[in-house]
Amino acid sequence: MSPDLSTYLYEHKIIGFREDLIDWLNDAKRSGVLTFEDVEVCAGMLMDIVFGALLPRRPLRTTAAKVASIVHIKKRLEIFLRGITYRPQ
């Protein structure tokens, strides 16, 4: 990451959200609500799921399209929380 980008992300508190998420995940792990190995990997994946979904794409022109976008983010988070089953063939 370039120093300018890093400074921008901290100044606009974007990275701060990641740090808050890491703190929340650590609390959830300590209390037994969530189980995972690496809090930074987990936080990064959640940030990618939510903020990656918000990256510019086609403009969402209708209320239905905006609602569908929110539903998709929630489904992605549900998949993350439930996990998936991997069965090598």
Per residue in 39-52, pLDDT (tens digit) is: 999 998 998 888 77
Q: Which pTM does this prediction carry?
A: 0.65
The predicted pLDDT at position 6 comes to 67
Residue 14 has pLDDT above 70, yes or no: no
Distance CA 47, CA 67 (A): 20
Residue 82 has pLDDT above 60, yes or no: yes
Give residue 47's Cα distance to chain centre. Answer: 3
